[in-house]
């Protein structure tokens, strides 16, 4: 029995708490002995069939957690779409959609994440303009990437140009998948990999339960969701829509899922000490909000939420130069400006104290009960205190004006 335990310990792919669920190990196993299963927190992890395993070591050797594939940025830019209507539903300046449109125009394929009723957040393959529109906006949950590897491989073998956009940990899996041998490295020449700056990832099951619970409460079903938008009336609100009509809307600081996400109460365990929150990047291009951009941008252009574009490879730089400049403003900036303003470039996340309670409750109580008991009281307490502070500040300002 002890020998069996030692054998299994030896075959661990990576440290369990660091596993991101990228499913690379499952997709490269020559014996198909790895399956991805949810743990007690609904976080996806690999499970090995030790009777089939030949201990070839390919999964451990290829796992992004056991290797270093980072590149220091070549260039850093601030950017946004000039057409405000096209930019409105995007999380930041709309660069991701512009890049996706470029691939569709050139008969390419785009892989991104969309929200689908009852399935939550899922990966999807797009070849039309209508399909890529569903990728707009932040989703704040982790889509299952398992079957995407094979689809990308098939497209590249068919000679198509492919754009893949996802979180850094999933990008790392795809990157490693195409570095396994020379044949795949050759195919990778037609694959542009883009990672977005990530606060953290939430199990998809939590978002599905949140949406279902809200629908029960409002007695109406949604067909799309939104967390972020350049429409100020929807930015940092969780909105549920039905046929583009808002049926539910609540501000981030008062909405339990949004609040729990931002405070890392419901994010996955691996996100607390994320190796991808650093200036060195994993994709050809990295994108996100340009947090802390200099006031000159707003003063000169009145743009409050532009895109950050970090170019990490020559391939990424070449694609950027090929984009139609008629609908994009782009300006080079110092990478340190992005690092200073962007926490996703500066290390791990410090979670709220509520996280421990949520993790203790979840295995036996599920998402809704656990997030209510661990989060609601603190969330409303913080909101109430902030409200009082704003009122007090307003009174002091009025008194000062009256006095002088």
pLDDT of the chain along its 404 residues, tens only? 444 544 554 568 999 999 999 999 999 999 999 999 999 999 999 999 999 999 999 999 999 999 888 999 999 999 999 988 888 888 889 999 999 999 999 999 999 999 998 899 999 999 999 999 999 989 999 999 999 999 999 999 999 999 999 999 999 999 999 999 999 999 999 999 999 999 999 999 999 999 999 999 999 999 999 999 888 889 999 999 999 999 999 999 999 999 999 999 999 999 999 999 999 999 999 999 999 898 899 888 888 889 999 999 999 999 999 987 778 999 999 999 999 999 999 987 789 999 999 999 999 999 999 999 999 888 877 766 777 777 777 777 777 765 55
Burial (CB count <10 Å: 0-12, 13-18, 19+), residue 329: middle
3-state secondary structure (DSSP) of residue 82: coil
**Residue position matching structure tokens 């014996």:** 31
pLDDT of the residue at 9:
46
- What H or E segment, with its residue span, contains residue 238? strand 237-242
What CATH fold (topology level) applies to the domain 75-201+267-345? 3.40.640
**CATH code at 2-66:** 3.30.70.3270
3-state secondary structure (DSSP) of residue 344: helix
pLDDT of the residue at 272:
93
The Cα 147–Cα 302 span in angstroms is: 42
Chain center to CA of 273 = 16
Q: Are 252 and 302 in contact (CB under 8 A)?
A: no
pTM of the model: 0.91
pLDDT of the residue at 10:
52
Domain positions in the chain are 2-66, 75-201+267-345, 204-265+352-403
Q: Where are the alpha helices (DSSP H) in 263-305?
A: 295-301
Supply 282's token pair: 């994993």
């Amino acid at each position: 029995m002890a020998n069996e335990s030692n054998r299994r310990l030896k075959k661990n792919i990576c440290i369990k708490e660091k596993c991101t669920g990228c499913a690379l190990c499952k997709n490269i196993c020559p014996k198909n002995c790895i399956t991805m299963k949810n743990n007690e927190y609904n976080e996806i992890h690999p499970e090995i069939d030790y009777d089939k395993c030949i201990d070839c070591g390919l999964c451990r050797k290829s796992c992004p957690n056991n290797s270093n594939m980072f590149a220091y940025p070549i260039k850093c830019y601030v950017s946004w779409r000039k057409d405000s209507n096209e930019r409105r539903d995007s999380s930041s300046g709309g660069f991701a959609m512009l890049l996706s449109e470029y691939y569709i125009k050139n008969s390419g394929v785009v892989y991104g994440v969309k929200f689908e009723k009852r399935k939550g957040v899922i990966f999807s393959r797009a070849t039309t303009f209508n399909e890529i529109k569903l990728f707009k906006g932040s989703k704040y949950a982790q889509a299952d990437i398992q079957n995407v590897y094979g689809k990308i491989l098939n497209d590249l073998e068919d000679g198509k140009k492919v754009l893949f956009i996802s979180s850094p940990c999933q990008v790392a899996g795809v990157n490693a998948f195409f570095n396994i041998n020379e044949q795949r490295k050759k195919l990778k020449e037609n694959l542009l990999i883009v990672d977005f700056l990530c606060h953290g990832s939430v199990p998809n099951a939590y978002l599905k339960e949140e949406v279902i619970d809200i629908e029960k409460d409002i007695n109406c079903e949604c067909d799309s969701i939104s967390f972020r938008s350049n429409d100020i009336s929807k930015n940092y609100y969780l909105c549920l829509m039905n046929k583009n009509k808002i049926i539910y809307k609540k501000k981030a600081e008062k909405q339990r899922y949004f609040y729990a996400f931002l405070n890392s109460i419901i994010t996955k365990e691996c996100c607390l000490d994320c190796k991808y929150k650093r200036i060195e990047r994993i994709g050809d291009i990295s994108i996100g909000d340009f947090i802390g951009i200099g006031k000159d941008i707003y003063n000169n252009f009145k743009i409050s939420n532009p895109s950050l574009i970090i170019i990490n490879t020559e391939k990424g730089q070449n694609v950027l130069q090929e984009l139609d400049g008629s609908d994009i403003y782009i300006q080079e900036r110092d990478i340190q400006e992005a690092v200073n303003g962007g926490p996703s470039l500066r290390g791990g996340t410090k979670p709220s104290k509520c996280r421990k309670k949520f993790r203790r409750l979840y295995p036996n109580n599920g998402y809704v009960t656990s997030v209510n008991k661990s989060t609601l009281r603190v969330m409303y307490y913080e909101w109430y205190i902030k409200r009082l502070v704003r009122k007090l500040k307003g009174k002091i300002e009025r008194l000062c004006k009256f006095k002088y």
